[in-house]
Amino acid sequence: MSASARQYRPETRLVHSGTLRSQYGETSEAIFLTQGFVYDNAEQCEARFIGTEPGFLYSRYSNPTVAMFERRIAEFEGAETARATASGMAAVTTALVGLVRAGDHVVAAKALFGSCRWVIEDFLPRFGVASTLVDGLDLDQWRKAVRPNTKVFFLESPTNPTLDVLDIGAIAEIAHAAGAKLVVDNVFATPIFQSPLALGADCVVYSATKHIDGQGRCLGGVILAAEKFIQDNYHTFLRQTGPSMSPFNAWVLLKGLETLHLRVRRQTETAAFVADALARHGKITRLVYPGRADHPQAATVKKQMRGGSTLVCFEVAGGKAATFRFLNALELVRITNNLGDAKSLVTHPATTTHQRLTPEARAELGITDGVVRFSAGLEHPDDIIADLTAALGKV
Ligand SMILES: Cc1ncc(COP(=O)(O)O)c(C=O)c1O
């Protein structure tokens, strides 16, 4: 198969797109664990640096294994170009920093992963970039937050951890009318269930650490957009500052892409079973799952997503003490702050991912002391439900 596989169906592209075979004709892609590259002669070296001859120069800029990962995810996402980064936060930070200068303004939904919110609220202002946080569900708040110097809108959907679903198409329209660009963190939806670029976003970012690896091994991130957008805003920043993905991680993540659709579909089925089982449980006071008809934004889910989620958000009755009793009673499902793993995981956002926020800011986002984020793994769903319900019995 040629390196370009756009004509094939999505599952086929996840297995084949971007493959660069070496002279040995290997079946599985090679790991090019090299910092640099050698040239046949000084003229060739000069031509590579000028850019008149294509080829690799240095692994901070690009590397064959990283390039395979970038091509494969770009073709699956339907993006012209992808750039891999060392972590999801490197991707988010680059995607934002590359679009602003001192004196600019960013608007973001307040329901964000804690580190993303820190970048917007605390880090960008250090460099003279102001920010406004809005309730992402309220389109009027996005409109009213716009200033003459607004350059970027940023959101994640479904949100972490409360799984609200924001209307990406409508928010993209507001951004573009204001002359701003929309960056979407698509980690929770995964590329299997949501395509922000097709909905109007200018740039998509992932923590590849999550479902793309899917087995809890490597950190990674990726930025996807049109070629010109990447060239104009990120190319030089990435090359000169160096948040590069390691070739080894790129290889793990490349192989992760091959099974992404199988894992995410299975985990989503399991999450839906868990959501249905817990929604009826007497110790659960609130449950949000994008695949259920009672999801608060069910119409938006239907409009912009191709499936539910591998995550379920629920609230245990009785506050922090009761919730900790539940978490501590789990035997199969493990306590962590991560998600998207083959192993089922639970997170207590109020004391981990969103611990930095004030109690008022958490309350505003619906992150009470009883909120638990569940990430479905690949175990048998009955074993997971048995573990969750047994632990709830001990609350
Ligand atoms: C929504 C979201 N965005 C970004 C990140 C950051 O990714 P990473 O941990 O790979 O830096 C995470 C998770 O940690 C996340 O959940």
Q: Residues 181-195: pLDDT tens digits?
A: 999 999 999 999 999
Q: How far is the CA of 352 from the centre of ligand 1 (A)?
A: 13
Which residue's CA is minimally distant from atom 2 of ligand 1? 113
Distance CA 353, CA 213 (A): 20
The confidence score (pLDDT) of residue 1 equals: 41
CB-based pocket (< 6 A), ligand 1? 87-89, 92, 113, 115-116, 156, 160, 185, 187, 207, 209, 219, 221
Instruction: Please choose from 85, 87, 89 the residue to mutate so as to test ligand 1's pocket, defined by most ligand atoms within 8 A of CB.
Output: 89
Q: How far is the CA of 128 from the centre of ligand 1 (A)?
A: 25
Q: Are strands 130-134 and 105-109 parallel, antiparallel or unpaired?
A: parallel
Q: How confident is the model at residue 119 (pLDDT cuts 50, 70, 90)?
A: very high
Q: In what order do the strands lie in the sheet with 284-288?
A: 284-288, 311-316, 371-375, 345-347, 334-335
SS3 content of the chain, % helix, strand, coil (to 5): 40, 15, 45
pLDDT at 305 over 80: yes
Mean pLDDT of the region 275-304 = 97
Q: Give the residue carrying structure tokens 């770009």.
A: 74
Which residue's CA is minimally distant from atom 13 of ligand 1? 207
Distance CA 152, CA 158 (A): 19
Q: How confident is the model at residue 5 (pLDDT cuts 50, 70, 90)?
A: low
Which residue's CA is minimally distant from atom 12 of ligand 1? 207
Q: Dump pLDDT digits (tens) for 26-56.
A: 999 999 999 999 999 999 999 999 999 999 9
The confidence score (pLDDT) of residue 2 equals: 45
Contact 87, 115 (CB under 8 A): no
Q: Dump pLDDT digits (tens) for 61-111.
A: 999 999 999 999 999 999 999 999 999 999 999 999 999 999 999 999 999
Question: Which numbered atom of ligand 1 lies nearest the CA of 187?
Answer: 1
Contact 92, 119 (CB under 8 A): yes
How far CA 298 is from CA of 14, 83, 156, 281, in Å, comes to 29, 33, 17, 22
Instruction: Please choose from 113, 311, 338 the residue to mutate so as to test ligand 1's pocket, defined by most ligand atoms within 8 A of CB.
Output: 113
Q: Are strands 150-156 and 105-109 parallel, antiparallel or unpaired?
A: parallel
Q: How confident is the model at residue 6 (pLDDT cuts 50, 70, 90)?
A: low
Q: How confident is the model at residue 266 (pLDDT cuts 50, 70, 90)?
A: very high
Q: How confident is the model at residue 7 (pLDDT cuts 50, 70, 90)?
A: confident
How many DSSP H helices and E strands does the chain contain?
Answer: 16, 12
Mean pLDDT of the region 337-353 = 96
